[in-house]
């Protein structure tokens, strides 16, 4: 990814998030191809192996429904810091990042 000099940090962060989303979409497509086409699993430098891993998980929704007091006993507060982006339209209006990206995608077409 190339950014222009003097790109404001929130604008660059949005560009990075968009690029990550595109890469994740491509990753999903490549995984689908590998699962559906065993003949595509051998590359020049890499081999793709499809493995199944058996694991267990706890259904927290059901656990809370059945044992609310027990779950509450082992539930602790946690502070999470996150960065949320809002778009700024040409007329200065703040809009959600989703709405801004949708508008930008429409402009690109």
Residue 36's pLDDT is 97
Q: Is residue 1 part of a domain?
A: yes
Greatest extent of the chain over all pairs of C-alpha atoms, in Å: 56
SS3 77: coil
**What phi and psi, each to the nearest 5 degrees, are found at residue 23?**
-65, -40
Q: pLDDT class for 3, splitting at 50, 70, 90?
A: low
Residue 19's pLDDT is 96
Q: Is residue 97 part of a domain?
A: no
72 alpha-carbon distance from chain centroid: 29
Both structure tokens of 12? 């660059």
Q: Is residue 68 part of a domain?
A: no
Q: Is residue 38 part of a domain?
A: yes
Measured CA to CA, the distance from residue 35 to residue 14 in angstroms comes to 32
Number of domains in the chain: 1
**What sections of 1-109 are H helices per DSSP?**
9-36, 60-66, 68-73, 97-108
Q: Is residue 39 part of a domain?
A: yes
Q: pLDDT class for 55, splitting at 50, 70, 90?
A: very high
Q: Whole domain around residue 43: which residue ranges?
A: 1-55
pTM for this model (two decimals): 0.72
Within a 10 A sphere around the Cβ of 88, how many other Cβ atoms? 13
Both structure tokens of 77? 């507060």
């Amino acid at each position: 990814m190339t950014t222009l000099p003097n790109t404001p940090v929130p604008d660059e962060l949005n560009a990075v998030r968009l690029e990550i989303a595109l890469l994740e979409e491509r990753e999903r497509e490549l995984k689908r191809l590998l699962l559906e086409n065993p003949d595509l699993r051998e590359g020049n430098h890499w081999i793709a192996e499809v493995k199944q891993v058996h694991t267990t998980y706890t259904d927290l929704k059901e656990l809370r429904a059945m044992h609310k007091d027990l779950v509450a006993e082992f539930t602790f507060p946690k502070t999470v810091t996150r960065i949320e982006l809002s778009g700024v339209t040409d007329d200065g209006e703040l809009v959600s990042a989703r709405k801004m990206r949708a508008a930008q995608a429409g402009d690109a077409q």
